[in-house]
């Protein structure tokens, strides 16, 4: 792994399996982690939105993180999702992750509350200054309702531990400017993975990586080798499964779990309310995408 990629190059925001009673399935968590590592990943994001973090407690997040570290710690970089719309809770999660011993933190813009840019900056500052762990900021205004302003980016890169951004705003031109500011950029949108790599991103934090990790690895390695034709071929193969996963309701968790079930990694696709597991018609669409991409 290049030192220019502090958290690895192929990462997936892991889904969180659940038991029949709704509790976290820690054995399932470890199965997912091992599956990802066996299929091209050199980094994992734990308890991000795809992990249904709005429905898991601080204690559960710690248990999930510890289970992943026990399963694959030392093999890949482990990044803890600690973003909430409550600064105190995010700081509590960050300190817990630091004690468990993670390689990085993923800090999303506070969602729903829609703070102004001064509030976004202060939220980031309080969390970042409370721990000594490298941080990847996460800009996804389609989910949070608030984009990270350029002035906030410009200030935050001056903080010692802020090193990267997961870019899911789709602004390729601004991403180039963020690289010039000193950020390591990761694609946060699977449909734009190749475009981001071409613009200087080092890798991606994926959703489709749950089922297409080998294709993502092939694409990243081809770009690194300067083989654009091979990179485009790998990217083209991911398109059917991207369409299938992204076309499902709240694709991050529901379709990822359906894909893992189809691959035999999990034996169920349970999610926590307010999400609902995909029905058989929706699962059939995911299956078709996997087949069209040559994964199943």
Which residue numbers are catalytic?
A: 138, 166
Question: What distances in angstroms separate CA 82 from CA 90, 105, 186, 259, 289, one per listed residue?
Answer: 5, 7, 17, 25, 31
Q: Which SS3 state, helix, strand or coil, does residue 136 take?
A: strand
Beta-bridge partners for 171 = none
DSSP 17-41: -B-TTSSB-HHHHHHHHHHHHHTT-
- Reply yes or no: is the peptide bond before residue 102 cis, omega within 30 of 0: no
Contact partners, residue 151, CB within 8 Å, separation at least 6 = 117
């Amino acid at each position: 792994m290049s030192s220019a990629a502090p958290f690895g190059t192929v990462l997936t925001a892991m889904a969180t399996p659940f038991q029949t009673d709704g509790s976290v399935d820690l054995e399932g968590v470890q199965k997912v982690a091992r599956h990802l590592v066996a299929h091209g990943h050199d980094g994992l994001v734990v308890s991000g939105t795809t992990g249904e973090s709005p429905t898991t407690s601080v204690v559960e997040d710690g248990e999930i993180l510890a289970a992943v570290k026990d399963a694959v710690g030392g093999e890949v970089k482990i990044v803890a999702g600690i973003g909430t719309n409550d600064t105190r809770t995010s700081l509590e999660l960050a300190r817990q992750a630091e004690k468990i011993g993670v390689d990085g933190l993923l800090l999303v813009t506070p969602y729903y509350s829609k703070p102004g840019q001064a509030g976004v900056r202060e939220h980031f500052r309080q969390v970042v200054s409370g721990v000594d762990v490298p941080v990847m900021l996460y800009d996804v205004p389609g989910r949070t309702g608030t984009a990270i302003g350029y002035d906030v980016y410009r200030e935050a890169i001056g903080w010692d531990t802020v090193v990267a951004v997961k870019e899911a705003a789709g602004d390729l031109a601004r991403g180039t400017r963020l690289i010039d500011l000193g950020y390591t950029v990761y694609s946060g949108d699977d449909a734009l993975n190749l475009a981001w790599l071409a613009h200087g991103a080092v890798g991606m934090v994926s959703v489709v990586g749950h089922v297409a990790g080998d294709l993502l690895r092939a694409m990243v390695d081809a770009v690194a080798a300067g083989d654009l034709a091979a990179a485009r071929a790998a990217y083209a193969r991911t398109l059917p499964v991207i369409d299938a996963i992204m076309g499902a309701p709240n694709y991050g968790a529901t379709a990822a779990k359906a894909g893992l079930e189809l691959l035999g990694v999990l034996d169920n696709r349970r999610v926590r309310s307010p999400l609902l597991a995909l029905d058989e018609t929706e699962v059939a669409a995911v299956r078709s995408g996997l087949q069209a991409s040559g994964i199943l």
